[in-house]
Amino acid sequence: MLITELKAREALMPLVEGKKVFIINCEGCKEVHFPGKEAREFQKELADAGCVTGTITTDYICNPENMELRLQNHMEEIKAADAVLVFSCGVGVQTIANYLEDKKVYAGCDTYPLPGFQGVTPLEYKCDQCGECYLNLTGGICPITACSKSLVNGQCGGSKDGMCEVDNTMECGWERIYRRLAQLGRLDVLKCPTQIRNFATDDEI
């Protein structure tokens, strides 16, 4: 089991202010606590400001096949949006970012650990429930699980031919993040001041 908590307003507003967003809520997984009231209040504020092109509230967005079918009916609303804002655990956000890879996809929540499982489908990406979701800075690719050293401030410099120096069977997570940010025109994110990781949020609740 795990718990999701709405990200701080100061973290979300710069991503969405003055922009059009498409909203996805995942409420299906009973293993995840969803911050429904707080998320609805924030989303109403965005809708009242005329920023929302569409919303879907569904379940198990971590199931790629089902999620793709559901999104197919909303592609025009997604096209009209500058970004897609996802309220789910980190696996759900990565599933959407993987599918809409040329769209900015942002996490509305942080994901914290509780004992139990996460996600319904075995996927090549994971969320380690670090409690301070970095997906908004990394193009929707989790630096905690896609990098062998869980680096959050960029590449270690040891990759060879694009592969990780710790595990040469896996692609360097930070090279993937760099390519995704370049594809999204967001390389400026890498010029942000160092993001210090707060390991206190990594403890089980």
Contacting positions for ligand SF4 (CB under 6 A): 90, 110-111, 127-130, 133-135, 142, 144-145, 147-149, 151, 155-156, 158-159, 164-166, 172-174
What is the C-alpha to C-alpha distance for residues 178 and 94, in angstroms, rounded to an integer? 16
- CA 155 to chain centroid, in Å, comes to 19
Nearer to ligand SF4, 45 or 155 (CB): 155
Phi first, then psi, for residue 106 (nearest 5°) are: -115, 145
Three-state secondary-structure class, residue 53: strand
Closest distance to ligand SF4 from the beta carbon of 93 (Å): 7
Q: How far is CA 142 from CA 86, 118, 131, in A?
A: 15, 15, 12
Residues 6+ apart with CB under 8 A from 38: 6
Closest distance to ligand SF4 from the beta carbon of 80 (Å): 27
Closest distance to ligand SF4 from the beta carbon of 49 (Å): 27
Nearer to ligand SF4, 72 or 160 (CB): 160
Counting beta carbons within 10 angstroms of the beta carbon of residue 155, is it exposed (0 to 12), middle (13 to 18) or buried (19 or more)? Answer: middle
Closest distance to ligand SF4 from the beta carbon of 180 (Å): 14
Nearer to ligand SF4, 56 or 163 (CB): 163
Nearer to ligand SF4, 80 or 199 (CB): 199
Residue nearest to ligand SF4 (CB): 90
What is the C-alpha to C-alpha distance for residues 101 and 105, in angstroms, rounded to an integer? 8
Closest distance to ligand SF4 from the beta carbon of 172 (Å): 3
